[in-house]
Amino acid sequence: MTETMLDSVEKELETELDFEQKKHAETNKTLKKYERHKELVFQAEEDQKTQQRSQELVERLQSKLKTYKRMKEEGEEQANLNLNNYRKTINELEERADIVEAALCKIHTKNRASFGKGFSSGCASPLAILVRSPILKDK
């Protein structure tokens, strides 16, 4: 072969080599894009799973919160009932104490009339003082 023919073949091969190198570079670029896309898809799936677990946790916590609120309200209702019962009992005890005090005063008045003795403080008996102690006055 002649030198010009060889030069022509050489140029053709160099052109083909350049084309194949560009094609290879483009293929590598496409491969990197594909791998990056694949990573992003995987990360998106993981994020979705994490978000779903978080949502389930939020729902469980909201359910617990609702239960605790209901329990708190029931406890408050029970406490109010107990407080009302306590106040009612105290009022009943005070009424009974008034009745007993009046009865004692009446007895003392009869005794004073009969024997000339008794409490001089206007029917305040030791029992009435005990019944009306500050311990029972807490409302």
Give the mean pLDDT of 105-134: 65
d(CA 114, CA 124): 19
DSSP 8-state class, residue 58: H
C-beta of residue 84 within 8 angstroms of C-beta of residue 115: no
Residue position matching structure tokens 């194949």: 20
pLDDT at 133: 52
Residue range of the domain that includes 96: 3-137
Angle, alpha carbons 84-86-87 (nearest 5°): 65
Each residue's pLDDT tens digit, 14-59: 999 999 999 999 999 999 999 999 999 999 999 999 999 999 999 9
φ, ψ of residue 118 to 5 degrees: the values are: 145, -175
Each residue's pLDDT tens digit, 66-76: 999 999 999 99
Two tokens at 110? Answer: 């009869």
Total domains present in the chain = 1
